[in-house]
Structure 1
Amino acid sequence: MEQLGTSPKVLHALAQDIKQYGRALGFSQIGITGVDLRSAEAPLLAWLAAGHHGNMDYMQRHGLKRARPAELLPGTLRVITARMDYLPRAAPENWREGEWRRLAQPEAATVSVYARGRDYHKVLRRRLQQLADHIAAQVDPGVVRVFTDSAPVLEVELAARAGLGWRGKHTLLLQRDSGSMFFLGEIFVGLPLPVDAPTSAHCGTCRKCIDICPTQAIIKPGELDARRCISYLTIEHGGPIPLELRPLIGNRIYGCDDCQLICPWNRHARRSPLPDFDVRQGLDQALLLDLWRWNKAEFEQHTEGSAIRRIGFERWRRNLAVALGNGLRQTRDAAWRAAVIQALGEALVQASPLLQEHLRWALTQAESNPAE
């Protein structure tokens, strides 16, 4: 095994080998960048100072470590960023149109596309670790550590600097040939590998993602107020959902894809070759009332191996209650409304205070749309 101090020729060959092996593991693209993110520090501090991180306290707690990889893991010289497409293998050609139709159906439950298959943390971490082990088997990497949303890492910033794409106006990474329907993961290493050149941005004057956001959470190009984001509200936020935002959530019960669905670049979104991201539990066709009928044990069973499980049963029911309330306000289907009102009313008795409040709100929505 070669030690640190490896020649530039060997490091160049190793970088190419890392990219080739990464593709064999199912990654769509691998890029390498340095650790100097000083230009990202001021925007990060301003975003935190404005409170746009909501109650994600870990972002404030870690502060500038997010922009300083060498402080997060001393000895880090390079960051290897891997991109993995997640659109299900069976997604139809017109998958975006299908998603828009679903959002317009009050009785349907909409789960973000990325969360319909296996928990991506597990898929990425296992394969990133295989890639890290592959590197360590050839050369002493000094330090090496895998990250998949497991530490304060500015992953979009790192990926953009590594040439994997550019930061879109919705804050997600965009790639000309793949859109934004992919996951990112990182490997920190203590090797002076050759770095890749960043790519230029290609959003132009387009602002479709900003205009389509149901809650107007994208306050300006490249800046998101998480406190208004439906993904944040349905996943990260554990308390009551603000009253003024509940009607805007529609039938979205876990995450929101609107800014990605409207993005012209996602006409190029690629299907994953991995079965891990195939739809589980029929979540692309699920109905709100069917999901509401799950008890806690069934929730645990049906979300085993899924990212959804992390929000817990109470938050899951809170989200469903809001979606059902929106359905009561939007549809005049008498039989469906009666079933929803009965189901929500029966749940009131044993519900927690948090859930009770959302149930009562949901039931009041029927009053603004009396059945004919």
Structure 2
Amino acid sequence: MRDILPALYEWYAAGSPFGLATVVAVDRSAPRDPGAAMAVGPGDEIVGSVSGGCVEGAVFELAREVIASGEARLETFGYSDEDAFAVGLTCGGEITLLVRRVSAADDPAFAAVAESVAAGRPVTLATVLDGPAPRGATLAVRPDETPAGSGTPGSAASTGPDGAPGSAGPDGAAPAPPGPTDPDAGAVGSLGSGGLDAAVAADARGELAQGATGRRHYGPHGERREDAVTVFLHSFAPPPRMLVFGAIDYASAVARIGAFLGYRVTVCDARPAFATPERFPAGVEVVVDWPHHYLSGTTTDARTVICVLTHDPKFDVPLLEEALRRPAAYIGAMGSRRTHDDRLERLRAAGVPEHELSRLRSPVGLDLGARTPEEVAVSVAAEIIALRWGGSGLPLTAGGGAIHPR
């Protein structure tokens, strides 16, 4: 949903209700992952996709119905569903969608999510799917310590006899549903119960750093040993970083494809004549600094991609010493096999142990026979994607079984 949020927020800010369909579950070889979204707005304008074209026509009609009625719908489309087969879900899998109406009048959580994503701050949108809670109710959870489920920031949730936050009290009466939380607090909106809000907010914060998205089950008031209420947690962690070192012609192509894949891209080079913003796509940060100095002063995490394109020992060796000792999803270095062998010897001489050297992907990229900078960028991106998802890098025709195993 991240890619369509700007359009959705324009409708929201203008006071125009829209129908939002979100993939909340998939089975077998479904075409889109949980979190994929499609919306129908003013004038029947459509943005986004939930199936790559298989069921969009049916979802369009559902969204129009939901806009008119205001009642959220949970629908499953799959090969075994005759209605879904009629609209063309031919991939052999199933997708479950929540379709709900969104408007500024009744969904403060949406604004909190859109504003957090636009500012690059992590946030999770929790939405009730099923059970004894209002379907389609939402809670936006930010990573701070303010307890959710209360109109007063900092107020504590009640605790029931079973230890669940907000459970029914000794007289058996459920606590009254809270109003929307303060927009400046850690949570905005409500799922209908203070206890449910508190339990969901705690889980959302615990998994936000990993960008976890999926269904969770609770009791009506947040009891963790029950599964009466199904809640969909959609995490929006800030985009992962791609750090490209060496402002050569290949760097521009790698930066472009990195931005296309959703990375926040930084290009760094010690040579001011090469490290100029005009040589790189709009939105790419360009830094003039010695690569290892810059890397030592910046933040990386387990999602960060590091591409070393300098293939010059005076840059490569100190940079890779630093890179191989810090968290990163991918560390690739450009160069011939001879350059790679020389680089390894220099790194060993610098004291880098073998278990750290084993993280280095060099020569960088998959063997696609690439020649041009753009083709090389595709091979680098292919290797990053394969490593992220455990792909073999082989042609799909060479394998068997499900293309997207679950």
Mark yes or no: TM-score above 0.5: no
**Structure showing greater Rg:** 2
Flag the structure with higher strand content.
2
**TM-score (normalizing by structure 1):** 0.26
RCO higher in structure (CA 8 A, sep ≥6): 1
Flag the structure with higher helix content: 1
